[in-house]
Amino acid sequence: MASRRFSHITTVFLLTIYRAISLVSVDLPDTLPLGLLDLDIVDKIQLDPNTTTQFSIDYGQLSQAAPAAVYCPSSPDDIAALVRFAYTSPRYFTIAARGRGHSVRGQAFAPGGVVVDMASLGRGRADRINVSSDDAPPRWYVDAGGEQLWIDVLHETLKHGLTPRSWTDYLHLTVGGTLSNAGISGQAFRHGPQISNVYELDVITGKGDMITCSREENSDLFYGVLGGLGQFGIITRARISLEPAPQRVRWLHLVYTNFDMFTRDQEMLISKLEKGFDYVEGRLLKGKDVSSSSFISEEDSEKVKLLADEFGAIYLLEGAVYYEQATASMVYQEVESLLKQLSFVPGFAFTKDVSYIGFLDRVHEEDTKQSSTEHEDVLHPWFNLFLPKSRIRDFESAVFKGILKNNNPVGLVLIYPFNKNKWDDKISAAIPDEEEVFYTIGLLPSATRENWEYLDKQHHEILSFCHQEGIEFKQYLPRYVTETDWRKHFGRKWHVFVQLKRQYDPKALLSPGQRIFTTPL
Ligand SMILES: Cc1cc2nc3c(=O)[nH]c(=O)nc-3n(C[C@H](O)[C@H](O)[C@H](O)COP(=O)(O)OP(=O)(O)OC[C@H]3O[C@@H](n4cnc5c(N)ncnc54)[C@H](O)[C@@H]3O)c2cc1C
Ligand SMILES: *[C@@H]1O[C@H](CO)[C@@H](O)[C@H](O)[C@H]1NC(C)=O
Ligand SMILES: *[C@@H]1O[C@H](CO)[C@@H](O)[C@H](O)[C@H]1NC(C)=O
């Protein structure tokens, strides 16, 4: 007994010496508490500048802020251990989950703190996506790790003939990252955004507690986390609803020269929740942006270019109808009769038939880069708004025909509507309150070091215009720095937002890059 005790003391002693030595060699940045080195998880913490530098930039490339350390957890328990330590540590340091860093404004940064590389949760593991197709429908679902990419979720569910209903345009985004925002694309008018299609979440709160939540259980946390900008916890698992996957997609591009007809048709299409399009989006095309698209033949491309030259700008309504091979001819007829009700320029409807996955995975990162320049040199000062339907016309005149008039290229500009009743009122995501239909406007230009600030200035002008005209807009993937602006952004939801923060992350440890709460509450 005595000798065992002795050896224990010796071990502790040796460990202390060892840590003292390794301390000197690892040189813990002074923003982090020394106690971090005593944790079992210490070998998952990376301090070398090569690694921290990689995590100090994001897709936007507009700003830079290095964390003191990068954490590579192998399990949700590892994350809980780190957060619990931070919560009890007298020394304040922040923690940001990072999906793929596809934010554009440093939202996944943790300056001087710890970035959690969520990808390491899934690395080399096959058990992070579980499809459940045994229960009777409609309770088919997939349990996916918060770090998982939507493209991988799609591949797994398709093996069971199933698919999530609501998407983003680009699928190499993480489940936890998009659920912290909203997750929008052309299916949202029918099914709501991705945050409307979740049954359950596992969340590690800012106190380090692991909580399972749903509409029934811990519902305040559930609704808070959805669209909650990472402020209340780190999502480690999401249970997402599934439906049978269609085999084929009839994909349409319809060209308009008249903005009113374009939006009227979009609104008509999103009101048809039964037989109609399964996907509705739209964009502005002008000048250099009307380059030949792979969607249409070169000959048709020329036609479209001439039209754009004549009218200055054109609008492209993008639609899709899902179908089964066996019913193809019937669906073609239905699409034809739908087209008869629409007011696109005669002769300017282009269609294509593709596989379901070919349609969903249509956007690749390549498309968002400028082909001639290196990826490193492409900046993305992206700017997204939600606007009430009644003001979309004012916006068009002042912004597309005004502020952005001389931008050539203007870059990708998305314009499409949603039905508000598909957005649960209790979720954190902020949307315009007043009308049943609201639009998303996405200004998604590529920029250089030289011109990005000019584009950024234009975005500020757009915000000023909206303020002046009393347009009840909301930013999507918002970026604000003052509490007044955040308060205005969340509007009547602000009070609940603060209350949830006080309850689940009172020390304001999580996702500091959003710059909503900058000190413990
Ligand atoms: C090419 C491209 C196309 C896009 N298309 C769309 C689109 O069609 N529709 C759409 O809605 N969005 C779109 N986005 C935006 C995208 O939804 C956001 O970038 C989002 O942040 C997801 O990116 P991410 O998974 O890399 O998360 P990150 O950028 O890494 O993180 C985003 C925020 O969420 C927090 N976070 C990350 N993981 C978790 C987690 N597991 N739990 C809690 N908080 C977490 C982070 O701390 C950070 O604050 C697009 C982005 C790009 C670059
Ligand atoms: C960091 O990167 C540099 C240059 O690529 C390399 O020489 C160095 O060995 C790297 N350091 C570590 C700790 O990986
Ligand atoms: C998938 O199921 C396995 C086995 O039950 C479990 O260990 C794992 O945590 C599950 N994964 C998710 C993301 O729920």
- Name the more confident of 36 and 20: 36
**DSSP code of residue 395:** H
Confidence of residue 497 (pLDDT cuts 50, 70, 90): very high
**For residue 237, what are the CA distances in angstroms to 120, 393, 448?**
14, 41, 37
Mean pLDDT of 449-472: 97
Domain at 8, CATH number: 3.30.43.10
How many domains are there within the chain?
3
Q: 518 in a domain, yes or no?
A: no
3-state class (DSSP) for residue 187:
coil
Which ligand 1 atom sits nearest the alpha carbon of residue 194?
Answer: 11
Confidence of residue 293 (pLDDT cuts 50, 70, 90): confident
Mean pLDDT of 69-86: 98
Nearest-ligand number for the alpha carbon of 514: 1
Please state the three-class secondary structure of 219-255 as a single string.
Answer: HHHHHHHCCCCCCCEEEEEEEEEEEECCCEEEEEEEE
Mean pLDDT of 266-283: 95
Q: Are residues 93 and 140 in the same domain?
A: no
In this predicted structure, what is the pLDDT of residue 518?
A: 93
User: Model confidence over 349-361: pLDDT tens digits?
Assistant: 999 999 999 999 9
User: Model confidence over 353-393: pLDDT tens digits?
Assistant: 999 999 999 998 655 544 444 456 899 999 999 999 999 99
Asked whether residue 205 carries a pLDDT value surpassing 50, the answer given is yes
φ, ψ at 384 (rounded to 5°): -125, 135
Q: Please tell me the distance from the alpha carbon of residue 350 to that of residue 263, in angstroms, as a whole number.
A: 18
In this predicted structure, what is the pLDDT of residue 436?
A: 98
Cite the beta strand spans of 397-505 per DSSP E. 412-419, 437-444, 474-476
Residue indicated by tokens 């270019």: 305
> What is the DSSP code string of 190-228?
HH--GGGSEEEEEEEETTS-EEEEESSSSHHHHHHHTT-
Q: 510 in a domain, yes or no?
A: no
- Tell me the longest C-alpha to C-alpha distance in the chain: 94
Closest residue (by CA) to atom 4 of ligand 2? 50
Mean pLDDT of 35-46: 93
Confidence of residue 274 (pLDDT cuts 50, 70, 90): confident
Query: Does 346 sit behind a cis peptide bond, omega within 30 degrees of 0 on the bond before it?
Result: no
Q: 498 in a domain, yes or no?
A: no
Which residues lie with the beta carbon below 6 Å from any ligand 2 atom? Answer: 48, 50
φ, ψ at 235 (rounded to 5°): -75, 120
Q: Are residues 396 and 265 in the same domain?
A: yes
Q: Are residues 23 and 156 in the same domain?
A: no
Q: Please tell me the distance from the alpha carbon of residue 440 to that of residue 389, in angstroms, as a whole number.
A: 10
Domain at 163, CATH number: 3.30.465.10
Q: 489 in a domain, yes or no?
A: no
**Catalytic-labelled residue, pool 102, 253, 380, 459:** 102
C-alpha of residue 13 to centroid of ligand 2, in Å: 33
Q: Please tell me the distance from the alpha carbon of residue 62 to that of residue 435, in angstroms, as a whole number.
A: 34
In this predicted structure, what is the pLDDT of residue 8?
A: 62
Domain assignment of residue 108, given as a range: 2-119
Domain stop point among 183, 210, 245:
245
C-alpha of residue 265 to centroid of ligand 2, in Å: 56
Mean pLDDT of 82-98: 97
Q: Please tell me the distance from the alpha carbon of residue 382 to that of residue 375, in angstroms, as a whole number.
A: 16
Confidence of residue 15 (pLDDT cuts 50, 70, 90): low
Q: Are residues 200 and 252 in the same domain?
A: no
Q: Are residues 292 and 263 in the same domain?
A: yes
Domain stop point among 72, 102, 119:
119
Q: 321 in a domain, yes or no?
A: yes
Asked whether residue 314 carries a pLDDT value surpassing 80, the answer given is yes
Mean pLDDT of 33-51: 94
In this predicted structure, what is the pLDDT of residue 373?
A: 45
| From 18-32, 110-124, 176-190, 325-339, the region with the lowest mean pLDDT | 18-32
- Name the more confident of 133 and 247: 247
In this predicted structure, what is the pLDDT of residue 371?
A: 44
Q: Are residues 438 and 407 in the same domain?
A: yes
In this predicted structure, what is the pLDDT of residue 366?
A: 54
Mean pLDDT of 100-124: 97
Query: Does 409 sit behind a cis peptide bond, omega within 30 degrees of 0 on the bond before it?
Result: yes
Q: Are residues 228 and 111 in the same domain?
A: no
Domain stop point among 229, 245, 261:
245
- In the sheet with 412-419, reading across from the earlier edge strand, the strands are 349-355, 248-256, 313-323, 279-286, 412-419, 437-444, 383-388, 474-476
Asked whether residue 255 carries a pLDDT value surpassing 50, the answer given is yes
Domain at 266, CATH number: 3.40.462.10
Q: Are residues 114 and 134 in the same domain?
A: no
In this predicted structure, what is the pLDDT of residue 1?
A: 45
Structure pTM? 0.94
Cβ(435)–Cβ(388) below 8 Å: yes
Mean pLDDT of 402-430: 96
Ligand 3 pocket test, pick from 121, 130, 142, 235 with the greatest ligand atom count within 8 Å of Cβ, gives 130
C-alpha of residue 237 to centroid of ligand 3, in Å: 9
Q: Which residues of 193-230 are buried (b: 16+ CB within 10 A; e: fewer)?
A: bbbbbbbbbbbbbbbbebbebeeeebeebbbbbbbbbb
Q: Are residues 240 and 256 in the same domain?
A: no
**For residue 131, what are the CA distances in angstroms to 106, 128, 240?**
33, 10, 10
User: Model confidence over 145-201: pLDDT tens digits?
Assistant: 999 999 999 999 999 999 999 999 999 999 999 999 999 999 999 999 999 999 999
Task: Tell me how far the alpha carbon of residue 321 is from its chain's centroid.
Answer: 24
Mean pLDDT of 423-434: 96
3-state class (DSSP) for residue 26:
helix
Which residues lie with the beta carbon below 6 Å from any ligand 3 atom? Answer: 127-128, 130, 143, 145, 237
**DSSP code of residue 149:** B
Determine the straight-line distance between the first and last CA of the chain, rounded to whole angstroms: 49
Q: Are residues 221 and 152 in the same domain?
A: yes
Q: Please tell me the distance from the alpha carbon of residue 165 to that of residue 150, in angstroms, as a whole number.
A: 12
Mean pLDDT of 221-236: 98
- Bridge partners, 48 (sequence order): none
Q: Are residues 369 and 419 in the same domain?
A: yes
Interstrand relation of 95-98 and 114-117 (parallel, antiparallel or unpaired) = parallel
User: Model confidence over 301-310: pLDDT tens digits?
Assistant: 999 999 999 9
Confidence of residue 7 (pLDDT cuts 50, 70, 90): low
Q: 46 in a domain, yes or no?
A: yes
Q: 501 in a domain, yes or no?
A: no
In this predicted structure, what is the pLDDT of residue 191?
A: 98
| From 88-102, 239-253, 271-285, 289-303, the region with the lowest mean pLDDT | 289-303
Question: Is 156 an active-site residue?
Answer: no
Confidence of residue 221 (pLDDT cuts 50, 70, 90): very high
Q: Please tell me the distance from the alpha carbon of residue 160 to that of residue 245, in angstroms, as a whole number.
A: 9
| Angle between helix 494-504 and 483-490 (nearest 10) | 110
Q: Are residues 254 and 147 in the same domain?
A: no
Question: Is 102 an active-site residue?
Answer: yes
* CB-side neighbour CA atoms (13 Å) of 390: 9
Average pLDDT, the chain: 93
Mean pLDDT of 59-74: 97
Q: 514 in a domain, yes or no?
A: no
Ligand 2 pocket test, pick from 50, 52, 70 with the greatest ligand atom count within 8 Å of Cβ, gives 50
φ, ψ at 215 (rounded to 5°): -65, -25
